[in-house]
């Protein structure tokens, strides 16, 4: 067969035969491989065959030019050991020949359990049990010849690129329709507090799809596991929620019940109620010019513009168990607890704004800034503590915050009083200075009149 092909390509004459590597025909793949983490690998390690082939020059040329000309590549016999492109069903095991080999991976410090983890995932199970060729395999997420390290920006598994990598399948409406899965989750994530931090804020530490679902062992966490998943990043909130009355309720879906975006969402549009302490003070400062004496509702709306929206999502869910919002004592305790927290936040931003304002003047407030850090700590602790739904614990923490703010305000009062007194004390000083200046001027005029004689006026000659 090879002889006939060589004869055809040479127009019936003896064709020039060359000893070439795979790169002679597959230059693009070789270039991608050379820039990848697998640059040291040889083609035959994944595809079988030989390191070099004796191929007619015309065959090399036709194979090399086929992608640009659109003409079919003639190909040639690679030998019995050549396996070619692995079928999708074979890809995990093909990659696993190295990545599940402890001796091969040991020099690189790489884990060798990723293949085993893949088989536990929804992707791996569907591939192994039913041979579903649509499910993700290694090359879908890592690339083929262009595999890069996860920390490289060009990598498909870099945190900034993970949402787009997963969206290639999970944002495909036609593909997801065959499994009855929603595609809205991708856009929900992008609009969530996690997605905006990652994609807009460029925070590489923000959770991605893989953070919550796993990477090679990708599996959707059940509601029973949501707290454990969220608790990886929010340990205090998870710890406090575990002590609440809702933690043991089978019908309660954990964190996503309140933070998951509400009705008709798929629990990827995670919302946050609280803002950073610094941002809260800034928002309050911007409110004051328009509202010099803002009401509690105006302060709450300014420092937490999303809180009302989240409560609007959460309250209908509360009514599944608490039918009478106005009469249910449990809800009344909740509302009182939320009022206590809102009051503590108002007190915090008022003291913080006053501290920042005085810092711009001539008074040194370094000590008060240091004290105010304790108030910030108490405020931050309030956010996860409210998950206990324990009004007494929350009230105690609110009291701690108020004590610090009282102390800071008291010291600021003292500084302002001292500044006022110093300003008052300057009044006689400035009065004496003005009087002394006037007396000096009068004395100057007297001495000038006594000692300085006017010059004679010279006559003019015509």
Q: What is the pLDDT of residues 369-427, one digit of tens each?
A: 999 999 999 999 998 998 998 999 999 999 999 999 999 999 999 988 887 777 677 78
Distance CA 457, CA 181 (A): 110
The predicted model scores a pTM of 0.76
Higher model confidence: residue 120 or residue 427? Answer: 120
What is the 8-class DSSP label of residue 82?
B
| β partners of residue 17 | 56
Residue 318 has pLDDT above 80, yes or no: no
pLDDT confidence bin for 460, thresholds 50/70/90: low
Mean per-residue pLDDT for 251-265? 77
User: Does residue 323 carry a pLDDT above 70?
Assistant: yes
pLDDT at res. 327: 74
Q: What is the pLDDT of residue 257?
A: 80
Q: Which helix (H) or strand (E) element contains residue 190?
A: helix 184-190
Cβ atoms < 10 Å from Cβ of 222: 10
Q: Rounded distance, CA 9 to CA 125, Å?
A: 47
What span, in angstroms and rounded, lies between the C-alpha atoms of 210 and 35? 25
What single DSSP character describes residue 20? E
CA distance 371 to 383: 20
In a 13 Å sphere around the CA of 385, the CA atoms on its Cβ side amount to: 19
Extents of the domains making up the chain: 2-85, 86-147, 164-271, 293-451
> Is it the case that residue 230 has pLDDT exceeding 70?
yes
Among the ranges given (72-76, 149-153, 239-243), the one the predictor scored with the smallest mean pLDDT: 72-76
308 pLDDT band (50/70/90 cuts)?
Answer: low
- Helix, strand, or coil here: 128? helix
Rounded CA-CA distance 192/172 in Å is 20
Q: What is the mean pLDDT of the chain?
A: 86
pLDDT digits (tens, 9 = 90+) for 40-93: 999 999 999 998 888 888 888 888 887 777 778 787 888 888 998 999 999 999
Alpha-carbon distances, residue 198 vs 159, 162, 187 (angstroms): 8, 10, 13
Q: What is the mean pLDDT of residues 156-167?
A: 96
Q: Which secondary-structure segment (H or E) carries 53?
A: strand 53-56
Does the pLDDT value for residue 10 go beyond 60? Answer: no
> Angle of helix 296-303 relative to helix 277-287, nearest 10 degrees?
130
Average pLDDT over residues 267-286: 88
Residue 306 scores a pLDDT above 90: no
DSSP label of 155: S
Roughly how many angstroms between the first and final C-alpha of the chain, as a whole number? 134
pLDDT for 307? 64
Torsion angle defined by CA atoms of residues 133, 138, 142 and 143, in that order, rounded to the nearest 10 degrees: -50
């Amino acid at each position: 067969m090879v002889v006939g092909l060589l004869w055809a390509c040479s127009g019936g004459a003896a064709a020039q035969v060359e000893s070439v590597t795979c790169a002679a025909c597959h230059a693009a793949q070789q270039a991608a491989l050379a820039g990848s983490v697998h640059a040291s690998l040889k083609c035959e390690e994944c595809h079988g065959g030989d390191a070099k082939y004796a191929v007619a020059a015309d065959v090399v040329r036709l194979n090399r030019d086929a992608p640009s000309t659109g003409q079919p590549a003639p190909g040639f016999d690679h030998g019995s050991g050549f396996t070619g492109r692995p079928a999708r069903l074979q890809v995990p095991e093909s990659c696993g020949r190295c990545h599940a080999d402890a001796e091969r991976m040991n020099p690189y410090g790489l884990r060798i359990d990723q293949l085993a983890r893949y088989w536990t995932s929804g992707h791996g199970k569907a591939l192994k049990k039913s041979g579903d060729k649509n499910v993700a395999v290694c090359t879908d997420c890592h690339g083929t010849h262009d595999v890069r390290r996860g920390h490289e920006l060009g990598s498909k598994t870099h945190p900034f690129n993970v949402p787009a990598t997963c969206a290639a399948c999970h944002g495909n409406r036609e593909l997801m329709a065959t499994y009855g899965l929603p595609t809205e989750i991708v856009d929900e994530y992008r609009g969530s507090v996690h997605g905006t931090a990652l994609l807009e804020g460029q925070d590489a530490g923000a959770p991605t799809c893989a953070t919550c679902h796993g990477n090679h062992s990708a599996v959707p966490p059940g509601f029973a596991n949501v707290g454990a998943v969220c608790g990886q990043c929010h340990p205090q909130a998870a710890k406090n929620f575990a002590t609440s009355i809702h933690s043991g309720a089978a019908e309660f879906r954990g964190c996503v019940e309140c933070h998951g975006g509400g009705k008709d969402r798929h629990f990827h549009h995670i919302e946050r109620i609280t803002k950073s302490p610094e941002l809260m003070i800034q928002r309050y400062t911007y409110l004051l010019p328009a509202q010099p004496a803002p009401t509690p509702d105006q302060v709450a709306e300014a420092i937490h513009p999303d809180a009302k929206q989240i409560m609007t999502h959460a309250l209908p869910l509360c009514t599944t168990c608490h039918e009478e919002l106005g009469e249910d004592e449990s809800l009344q305790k909740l509302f009182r607890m939320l009022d206590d927290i809102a009051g503590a936040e108002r007190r915090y931003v008022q003291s913080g704004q006053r501290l920042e304002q005085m810092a711009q003047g001539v008074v040194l407030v370094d000590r008060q800034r240091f004290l105010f850090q304790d108030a910030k700590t108490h405020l931050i602790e309030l956010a996860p503590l409210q998950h206990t739904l324990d009004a007494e614990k929350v009230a105690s923490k609110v009291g701690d915050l108020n004590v610090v703010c009282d102390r800071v305000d008291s010291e600021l009062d003292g500084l302002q009083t001292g500044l006022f007194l110093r300003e008052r004390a300057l009044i006689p000083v400035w009065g004496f200075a003005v009087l002394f200046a006037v007396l000096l001027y009068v004395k100057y005029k007297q001495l000038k009149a006594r000692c300085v004689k006017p010059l004679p006026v010279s006559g003019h000659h015509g």
